[in-house]
Chain A
Amino acid sequence: MSAAVYHSRLRQSAEERRAETHPLTWRLREDGELVGLAEYLDKDGYGAVREALAGDPEAVIATMKTANVRGRGGAGFSAGTKWGLTLTGGDLPRGYLVCNADEMEPGTFKDRLLMEQLPHLLIEGMILAGFANRSRQGYVFLRGEYRRAARALGQAIDEAREAGWLGGDIGGSGFDFDIALHTGAGRYICGEETALINSLEGRRANPRAKPPFPGQSGAWGKPTVVNNVETLCNVPGVLRHGADWYQGLSGGLSEDGGTKLFGVSGRVARPGLWELPMGTPAAELLDRAGGLAGGRDLKAWLPGGASTGFLLPEHLALALDFDTIGRAGSRLGTGLMTVVPDDQPMPALLRNLETFFARESCGWCTPCREGLPWTVRLLEALERGEGEPGDLERLESLARDLGPGRTFCAHAPGAAMPLESALTHFREEFEAGIARPAPRPVGEEG
């Protein structure tokens, strides 16, 4: 199998990864192969489920709230708070727990690692989340191209069901919960939680209006919690070791607790993934990746995927956490850094990114559907040197009108963020794409 070439790579040795400091990755094998049920159980697997299911769902939510596990899909919303807002009880039907595994953010390959090599951690997290939210059924909405993850998850779900970790009356707790794996058909927008739900239901992958939020009316109109893979993978550790332990994991580097799967892609010496404390400085991450390849200098970097704003070399000192990066005018996003070397022209890079976003627009709301292709055309013109005076202003106004609150969902604002920041930091590169009017020979009428 050529998987060793293609699957995402953790660049940390087994000695470095310890249970108390690397809750996400300590169980990973050195050879990168799948950790099966037996090995997972040997490595304290399902211990958190055993404990938590004996208790009260409210207690699970309380621990999660105290730990303040912030959503690892990119938005950074507290998972515990989200669970607390989910409607339960009364005459409400038991709803659904959906794992957002539609990892399609350009430059992001962290959930893939967890699902390909350690699927039982996700299953354990989902059982706990399902228990906390009184869900009856869990779904993993998996990016269709993640074939290896699909195999690993499918196998793990079968193993878990066989062993009684899924299905009716889990571990004699009276709680029943099962998981179905759903592979997507290849739309970036399915990563948006309400579009994901529509797609899961068999509808067009258009986002839904919020409110009502999925916690009130989600999949098939029932209360639904949607969490990212990495978020759910944090849950067993939090419940096993407690909120204080989790808070301490970041070691004072950040107000947020826990570790984060960080990564670097682009022209660096050692692209890959690292589980590091939340708040690790960007410079340290870049060091671990061996710095830029080929002796290039860093021109700019995206902190966490294509839908985050460009930061500059001077920002490398910043702690990688949601609030710090947010204050710097970007977003932590998925936490997987993309580096831009100094010989990379920005108009071409932006054209590439915006082409992706324009193609992946679901076509529901006007600004995104019509504004993004226009952006692409303008960038193409600038790239060819066929820009016209006013094009930069047009791009700026497009970026502004694609901003939050103006579009139906966060897709277009995500596309606008790198554009807006690139126009701010590298304006002269775009200006260079504006064609100069040909000098007019003297005496000739215009």
Chain B
Amino acid sequence: MATIHVDGRPFEVDERHNLLQACLSLGLDLPYFCWHPALGSVGACRQCAVIQYRDADDDRGSLVMACMTPAAEGTRIAVEAPEARDFRRGVIEWLMVNHPHDCPVCEEGGHCHLQDMTVMTGHARRHYRFTKRTHRNQYLGPFLGHEMNRCISCYRCVRFYRDHAGGEDLGVFGANDNLYFGRHREGVLESPFAGNLSEVCPTGVFTDRPPDGRYTRRWDLQFAPSVCHQCAVGCNISPGERYGELRRVENRYHGEINRYFLCDRGRYGYGYVNRADRPRLPEWREARGEAAMTLEVDAALDRGADRLRGARRVIGVGSPRASLESNHRLHELVGAEHFCLGVTRAAADGLATMARLQRQSGLPSPSLRDIESHDAVLVLGEDPLNSAARLGLALRQAVLGRREELAAARGVPAWNAQAVQTLAQDRRHPLFVAYPAATGLDGLAEATWRLAPADIARLGAAVAHALDPTAPAVEGLEEELAEAAATIASGLGAAERPLVVSGDALASTAVLEAAGSVARALARRAKPGGLSLIRAEANATGVALLGGRPLEWALDEIEAGRADALVVLENDLHARLPHARLDHALARLTSLVVLDHQRTATWARADLGLPAASFAEGDGTLVNLEGRAQRFFQVFEPSFLRPETRIRESWRWLHALQGAIRRRRPEDTRLDAETRDCARHHPALAAITEAAAPADHRVQGLRLARAPHRYSGRTALRAHLGVAEPRPPADPDSPFAFSMEGYAGRRWPRRDIAFAWAPGWNSPQAWNKFTDEVGGHLRAGDPGVRLLDPVPGAYAYAHAPVLLSPFVRRDGEWLLVVLPRLFGGEETSRRAPLIAERASAPVLALAPEDAEAMGLAEGATLELVTAAGRVRLPLSCRAGLARGLVGVPAGVAPGLATGQWGRLRPVTPRRTP
């Protein structure tokens, strides 16, 4: 720590910070543009000028940029000196020279950093009387609008896009006051993190393209602290609602997970919540194949209860995308021995393996923030940028972390972003990637291996053996793999904090066990490393801790006549199982009850469909891949604007259904009761009650506000329905009010923050007012509670030689590999129009050499036939795909699963030689 003097007052600050970081961390207001807590300082905008004095006797001082000046012991500065204030006001005036002042029609208006800073510096009168320069704008894809005339040339966009996120198709062109920030040619921005530009840009150059032209000012949105449901990373989000629709998803700062950035699937994948075809009322089918009729709640529950009561045996199918509370309530409804996890056997095995390894490999599962401080990474059989994109971004920072180390050795502070980059050039921490296809991280990697899943497992096992000779050796290892294992082992062995990343992308427990073995070998060498295991779905980690059987078991039971009723929770079985067998089994049921918020193929076959709440309309708890239980809160009450709606959280439906089956008097339940019940029944989940504040939590006697205090038109929201003004909906489940009434401040620290706002700070930069230091942790602690930590013990290496046989190509047969896909590869976000627009066209991918050998040309239509069914798609020659494999993008062909073998048949004529 260092003592600095700001306007004559002494403060304790972190001497590793620059003066801007120090001032902001102290809660002082100092305007800035080019600096960003995650991007460091470059001294471009000159907005954060202060006067620095040599010593106590110096009364003149000199103007310095706070962001480029270290917060060294004894530093004396004046923020409020007239010379500094005048200069800062002048800088804003310059920035405004070419700015169009179009705030009233600008999407950024109301959460614009430029507006905030303009007000802060007191620039209120424009002196420039000449013409402004103008630019043409570009089409940048479905997510972001582009309005270059608003640009103030802070360079943040390119620094985030290129330096932080590794994108290459956004740049700065031109010079002097004719700079252009855009693409060389207009087109879809390639980076999966492009959407962050809407928050990184301090003004309205890059803004979210409002879906369907429906746009709402930030102050008119109703928010709640939520957790992204589009993958298992568990990024914290603030979804904003107006008129019963989600209009925007903002990043919600979590000091250990996403901090400032989200991926585009998370930011723009919410569109399924707004779909017009969503079920909003219970639906009943008297007989299969008949059109559904809608029912009132009581009638629906009665009929459902009658059917289930009459069933011989009811199996409950849980869901890796539903909350713990909903899964638990279903678990209670049907009983543990009748509960199915809602995933295939291969997936269930993977989930169980991962949960075990997180406790028993000896290495902890790092948070995303912690991932960034590892200094060597092995990615074994995963494609993080597609299956857990935000984690992939963290891996990038880990590998680039060498920069700060090299800079520190030469006395260059970590915040001096350009100098750090210059000094390090392309020197990075080692990253090794073994995967069947090319991945987005390959460009950063020291070495990559494109291997079939079986060989990835063997490589991993060989790495473990090379690190620790007591780990079982891999027999008959090819020379290439032996060399690869030696390279990886020496890279990981030389690191202080090696990180192993794996996951269920390849649906291979052998790969996971191999990753676990590497982790164990590192743990035995007393390395404070980490093991990060990626699950594809939001609550896969949580539901695995609940425990249950795989889907195939449920089919077996139905086919054997041992079960005749199924209750399916938020799960499209048709996306997981081969349709023929599934439909055959469903047809044998006497009753099928489906709870979901989407009209899926499974919903379409339900006898009773109960309209479930999406994350936006309900509360619950998810466990992310790190093992952190996090609560998401209801954003809006759907019945307020659509009184006919009967949407309920699945746990609420199931609780009511349970009551109806037992012919109890109907009584409602509460989130806290459900969470407590879940925690009580499942020791592994005992801590989940601590994940967030209970419903009776109050700050200074107040509930917490969901809407900013400037929220307008509340009394007119329902004007089209009637002149009466009803009370805002009550929320028995959370401490939040459906209102701007309630506490929204920052004086009393809290973990559950619906939206960040502080006086003078209307943009997302307001998060800096809620953290203990800029880029640090929320002052009340980061939300959530960790459930999975290593349990001390002597654990043996996995020894499963049968799993370690090499991949052998088959003549005329192809090993199917489902490749995770950020856009279009996930069940719910795929239904969002923006994501559908961004998704790549479905293809069958082959190694170019294999396609060549078969005489097939790019684009030729191929038919893939497996035991699970057949699919016809165009051929895509994918350089880098391991030979002998056929790759299918996730979400393209339900029922097709990694590990199946299939035959390929060209449907169009072969290429003539």
Contacts and interface: CB of A to CB of B under 8 A. Distances in A.
A220 interface: yes
A216 B410 contact: yes
Interface string B119-143: 0000000011110000000000000
20 contacts: A209-B42, A358-B177, A361-B176, A363-B153, A363-B178, A365-B45, A366-B45, A366-B152, A366-B153, A367-B90, A369-B176, A370-B98, A371-B94, A373-B97, A374-B94, A374-B128, A390-B127, A394-B127, A401-B87, A406-B63
Nearest to A220: B425
Contacts of B177: 358, 361, 363, 369-370, 372-373
Contacts of A359: 176
Contacts of B176: 358-363, 369, 372-373
B412 interface: yes
A405 B43 CA distance: 11
Contacts of B416: 209, 212
B236 interface: no
A338 to B, nearest CB: 23
Q: Give the interface residue-count category, chain A.
A: 35 or more
Interface in B28-56: 42-47, 49
B893 interface: no
Interface string A377-401: 1000100000010100010010001
A216 B423 CA distance: 9
A221 B44 contact: no
Interface in B169-193: 172, 174-179
A217 B91 contact: no
Interface string B152-175: 110100000000000000001011
Given A221-B425, A394-B127, A408-B44, 16 more contacts: A212-B410, A216-B410, A217-B410, A217-B422, A221-B424, A358-B176, A364-B155, A365-B43, A366-B91, A366-B95, A367-B46, A367-B94, A369-B176, A369-B177, A381-B130, A407-B46
Contacts of B94: 366-367, 369-371, 374
A43 interface: no
A187 interface: yes
Nearest to B406: A221
Nearest to A390: B127
Contacts, number: 107
Interface string A401-415: 100011110000000
Contacts of B292: none
Contacts of A211: 412, 419
A217 B90 contact: no
B669 interface: no
A80 B495 CA distance: 41
Interface string B52-91: 0000000000111000100000000000000000010011
Nearest to A204: B172
A360 B175 CA distance: 8
B153 A217 contact: no
Contacts of A288: none
Nearest to A214: B422
B418 interface: yes
Contact of A397 (B42, B62, B90, B172): B90
B175 A366 contact: no
Ranked 4 nearest A-B pairs via Cβ: A370-B94, A377-B130, A361-B176, A221-B423
A212 B129 CA distance: 40
B90 A374 contact: no
B432 to A, nearest CB: 24
A58 to B, nearest CB: 22
A363 B174 CA distance: 8
B161 to A, nearest CB: 15
Nearest to B128: A374
A406 B87 contact: yes
Interface string B407-449: 0001110001011001111000000000000000000000000
Contacts of B63: 405-406
A417 B68 CA distance: 25
Contacts of A407: 46
B46 A366 contact: yes
A209 B425 CA distance: 16
Given A221-B423, A405-B63, A408-B46, A209 B68 contact: yes
A112 interface: no
Interface residues of B, number: 42
A187 B175 CA distance: 10
A208 interface: yes
Nearest to A209: B43
Contact of B419 (A212, A367, A374, A401): A212
A405 B90 contact: no
Interface in A263-301: none
Interface string A331-365: 00000000000000000000000000011111111
A80 B260 CA distance: 47
Contacts of B68: 209
A427 to B, nearest CB: 20
A405 B62 CA distance: 8
Interface string A188-228: 00000000000000001000110110001100110000000
B44 A212 contact: no
Contacts of B153: 363, 366, 369
B95 A370 contact: yes
A216 B409 CA distance: 12
Interface in A23-80: none
A370 B97 contact: yes
Nearest to A369: B177
Q: Indicate the member of B62, B68, B130 with the most A CB atoms within 10 Å.
A: B130
Contacts of B47: 366
Given A209-B68, A361-B176, A221 B49 contact: no
Contacts of B419: 208-209, 211-212, 217
Interface in B587-646: none
Contacts of B49: 406
Contacts of A408: 43-44, 46
A220 B425 CA distance: 6
Q: Indicate the member of B62, B94, B425 with the most A CB atoms within 10 Å.
A: B94
A365 B87 CA distance: 14
Contacts of A369: 94, 153, 176-177, 179
A283 to B, nearest CB: 36
Contacts of A217: 410, 412, 419, 422-423
Contacts of A221: 422-425
A389 B116 CA distance: 31
Contacts of A364: 44, 155
A187 B160 CA distance: 26
Contacts of B411: 212
A291 to B, nearest CB: 38
A115 to B, nearest CB: 26
Contacts of A371: 94
B130 A406 contact: no
A374 B422 contact: no
A361 B423 CA distance: 25
B396 to A, nearest CB: 20
Nearest to B171: A204
B77 to A, nearest CB: 14
B41 to A, nearest CB: 8
A77 to B, nearest CB: 20
Contacts of A220: 425
A373 B175 CA distance: 12
Interface in B234-289: none
Nearest to A409: B43
Contacts of B412: 211-212, 217
A406 B49 CA distance: 8
A197 to B, nearest CB: 9
Contacts of A209: 42-43, 68, 416, 418-419
Contacts of B174: 363
B552 to A, nearest CB: 56
Contacts of B179: 363, 369
A434 to B, nearest CB: 14
